[in-house]
Amino acid sequence: MIWKMYKKEMTDALRDRRTLLLTAFLPILMLSGLVFFYESLLVPNTHESYTIAVPAALDKQESKIFSDQLHFTVFPDPKEAVNQGHAKAALIFDGSLNGLDHGNKKLTATIYGDSLSQDASAAMTQLTSDLERYKEEIVAQKLSSKDIDKDVLNPIQINKEELSSNKGNAASITALSIFLPMMIALSIAIGGLPAASDMFAGEKERQTMEALLMSPVSRGKILTAKWLAISTMGVISGFIAVAVTVVEIMFLTEFLKLAFNNNDQIPVIIGASIIMITLFALLIGAVLMVISIIAKSVKETQSYSSPIMILPVLPVLFLSSVGVNELSITYFMTPVVNLYALIKEMLYGIVDIPHMLITFGTTGLCVIIALLLSRILFLKDKWILSK
């Protein structure tokens, strides 16, 4: 009986063009945009060239100090030129760079620019490091002319080593560990919402609910069939999102795809992802169902669900800066957050069975709670009969 009712709900939902559009098309569009956004963040700034405003032209020797990326252009007022956007940064000396070779002791170089702009700060960093390098050269020259070893100025050599799990693809993995769970959660919610709002609030509006409740089928069965159908729409949407994301990353990106390198746990990851997506879809399905039961109309359901749409994105705020080794058990015990935590771990190639079980367990527990709540509400006529 439940199976037949489920089949009818699925037919009904799949014939709804709006549903299909929302469950398939919109997430694909959104995630394609995000794939390219994250990819662009990872592309190193190598071929860019920047215009630097200077008060007077540099001579040949002076320009040799600087990288080819920097193009120097003369402006009568270099700072104003930067303000006007004609140059990324300005470089002003109170003397001549060459003068340092010829006995001048000191020179002040002012670098002017907007360090909050990505391009300007890249230009300023380049200027600074070029000048630093030149400064060291001169210091070394001067010291050696006085027979002093240049290492006296550098008594401590600092070596920074990365966390062993952070291989060359750490940046790609970090980007993906935010992006992938967000996409999964959002697309599940987007996929389930139209079905959920239609199956309770919609049936109330169209008064099919009364006809349905007049049949001798128990309300528990009605609820179960609808819940499974809503969750199925979420699962479909979630899988499409993941599949499209992975395909786009593999074939259309250069840097994001590095995240999948050196990961020898792919089968386990796929298995865990299937369980995770399904459980999460069941959870979001139950929550959306509660909302739809309470709401009087499809429109009301949609406005009540806006917070549900934001919820899956929230963990980004406090998880993106947490390292994979800092993921404590609390992260895996918090619903929604654990989706992010588990995916991050798996992307790093870590398969931690207790973490997985805790994640599945807490999500499952939330499913049961949401389901019980929806059942209590669905048994009350107040929520399900239109006036």
Partner 1 sequence: MIEVRNVTKKFRDKKRSVTALNHVDFMVSEGEVAGLLGENGAGKTTLLRIIATLLQPTEGDVHVAGYSTIKEAKQIKRKIGVLFGGETGLYDRLTGKENLEYFAMLYGMSRHETKVAIDDLAVKFGMKDYLNRKIGGYSKGMRQKVAIARTVIHDPDIILLDEPTTGLDITSSNVFRQFIHQLKRQGKTIIFSSHIMEEIQMLCDSVMMIHKGQVVYQGDLEQLYDEENSKDLNFIFMSKLARGVSL
Ligand X SMILES: Nc1ncnc2c1ncn2[C@@H]1O[C@H](COP(=O)(O)OP(=O)(O)OP(=O)(O)O)[C@@H](O)[C@H]1O
Q: Is 314 in the site for partner 1 (CB under 8 A)?
A: no
Q: Is 381 in the site for partner 1 (CB under 8 A)?
A: yes
Gap between the Cα atoms of 308 and 318, Å rounded: 18
Minimum separation from the CB atom of position 381 to ligand X (A): 8
Q: Is 387 in the site for ligand X (CB under 6 A)?
A: yes
- Helices then strands, counting H and E runs in the chain, come out as 18, 4
Gap between the Cα atoms of 134 and 62, Å rounded: 10
Among 10, 16, 131, 137, binds partner 1 (CB under 8 A): 16
Contact 372, 366 (CB under 8 A): no
Nearer to ligand X, 183 or 384 (CB): 384
Nearer to ligand X, 204 or 257 (CB): 204
Options 61-69, 199-207, 324-332, 368-376: segment touching partner 1 (CB under 8 A):
199-207
Q: Is 216 in the site for partner 1 (CB under 8 A)?
A: yes
> CB under 5 to 8 A by kind: which of ligand X, partner 1, none does 16 bind?
partner 1
Q: Is 15 in the site for partner 1 (CB under 8 A)?
A: yes
Contact 52, 127 (CB under 8 A): yes
Residues 6+ apart with CB under 8 A from 67: 126, 130
Beta bridge partners of 92: 110
For 181, phi and psi rounded to 5 degrees?
A: -65, -35
Gap between the Cα atoms of 280 and 340, Å rounded: 12
Minimum separation from the CB atom of position 382 to ligand X (A): 7
User: Structure tokens of 40?
Assistant: 């662009």
Residues 328-367, mask of contacts with ligand X (x by CB under 6 A): ----------------------------------------
Minimum separation from the CB atom of position 304 to partner 1 (A): 18
Q: Is 385 in the site for ligand X (CB under 6 A)?
A: yes
Residue of 165, 191, 182 whose CA lies nearest to 265: 165
Instruction: List contacts with ligand X (CB under 6 A).
Output: 385, 387
